[in-house]
């Protein structure tokens, strides 16, 4: 493309020089230049002007095609990366995060106690140590939340039976939350492996066509936000990989990391009419809007706005 650009610039110079000299000898009659020579020069420079004009038109068309192609390529590559970001799922909790973290930490402790008790003789005094006692504080707090919403059930059955049912409900909910957690963080792990090489190459190529000012604006409004958020996903995915590989079993850390990442991608709003909690893909929608403006600028068209819709709705 540099050769064609050089040819375009050369054509412009030759065209301007030729038409200037043509105009000079055609309109300005100087007695110092013989008539025959003047007519000859007019013919030469008129031909050079026409040739330069044809060459200029050819190179201009090729330059425009190459420019549009480069801009389209960046738009398509950025859209692919954004599409991957748009596939992330929202991790919704109906219980306070701290209760869930404490519950999983408590379960980890109880499993550890089980593994130790199996190896220590029954008469060993270590078993009386407080550290080796089972813990159910978080589970009981969770049970209390459920119990406060189902007093009618308590009145129809015995206290022990009622408590067992509530405990089973908590265990089922905890299992469901854990399965959902695995599914969600696997998406982040997959996203962290997304290659950004093509989009990096594309942004480098278009600077040649857009100029420094327009390129800098594009870099700040689209390229940097996408690149930065991918880097944050990769950092968070390190914790997820350690957990999924079994090297770490610190579920509270995984939950904290996930919640911090979700703040970058999602925003929740309460619908005033239905009182439902609506989840929007804020980052995806913002970047999609910027990419649409960029796409429209390629063809000198007005951008087509896309209405934002919630990806999840939770009724209270």
Tell me: do 123 and 213 sit in the same domain: yes
The CA distance from 86 to 67, in Å, is 28
- Local structure of residue 219 (DSSP, 8 states): I
How confident is the model over 69-85, as pLDDT tens digits? 888 999 999 999 999 99
pLDDT for residue 65: 77
Tell me: do 225 and 281 sit in the same domain: no
Q: Which residues pair with 93 in a beta bridge?
A: none
The β-bridge relationship of strands 277-280 and 267-270 is: antiparallel
61 falls within a domain:
yes
Domain assignment of residue 309, given as a range: 266-316
24 falls within a domain:
yes
Angle between helical axes of 2-27 and 35-85 (0-180°, round to 10): 150
Q: In 3D, which of 206, 198, 200, 201 has the Cα closest to residue 69? A: 206
Tell me: do 108 and 147 sit in the same domain: yes
Residues counted in the chain: 316
87 falls within a domain:
no
How confident is the model over 7-51, as pLDDT tens digits? 556 767 776 776 776 676 666 666 566 666 666 666 776 776 677
198-215 average pLDDT score: 80
């Amino acid at each position: 493309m540099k050769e064609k650009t050089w040819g375009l610039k050369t054509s412009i110079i030759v065209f301007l020089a030729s038409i200037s000299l043509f105009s000079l000898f055609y309109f300005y009659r100087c007695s110092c230049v013989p008539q025959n020579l003047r007519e000859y020069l007019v013919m030469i420079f008129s031909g050079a002007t026409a040739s330069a004009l044809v060459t200029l038109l050819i190179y201009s068309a090729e330059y425009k095609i190459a420019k549009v192609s480069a801009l389209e390529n960046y738009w398509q590559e950025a859209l692919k990366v954004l599409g991957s970001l748009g596939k992330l799922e929202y991790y919704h909790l109906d219980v306070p995060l701290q209760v869930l973290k404490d519950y999983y930490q408590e379960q980890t402790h109880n499993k550890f106690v089980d593994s130790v008790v199996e190896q220590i003789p029954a008469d060993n005094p270590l078993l009386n140590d407080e550290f080796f006692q089972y813990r159910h504080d978080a589970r009981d707090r969770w049970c209390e939340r459920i119990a406060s919403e189902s007093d009618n059930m308590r009145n129809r059955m015995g206290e022990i039976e009622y408590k067992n049912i509530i405990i089973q409900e908590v265990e089922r909910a905890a299992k469901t939350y854990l399965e959902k957690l695995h599914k969600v963080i696997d998406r982040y792990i997959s996203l962290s492996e997304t290659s950004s090489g093509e989009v990096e190459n594309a942004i480098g190529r278009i600077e040649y066509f857009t100029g420094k000012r327009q390129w800098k604006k594009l870099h700040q409004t689209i390229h940097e936000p996408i690149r930065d958020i991918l880097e944050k996903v990769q950092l968070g995915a390190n914790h997820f990989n350690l957990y999924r590989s079994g090297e770490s079993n610190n579920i509270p850390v995984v939950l904290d990391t996930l919640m911090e990442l979700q703040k970058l991608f999602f925003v929740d709003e309460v619908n005033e009419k239905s009182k439902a909690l609506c989840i929007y893909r804020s980052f995806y929608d913002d970047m999609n809007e910027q990419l649409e403006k960029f796409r429209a600028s390629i063809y000198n068209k007005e951008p087509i706005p896309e209405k934002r819709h919630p990806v999840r709705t939770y009724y209270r």
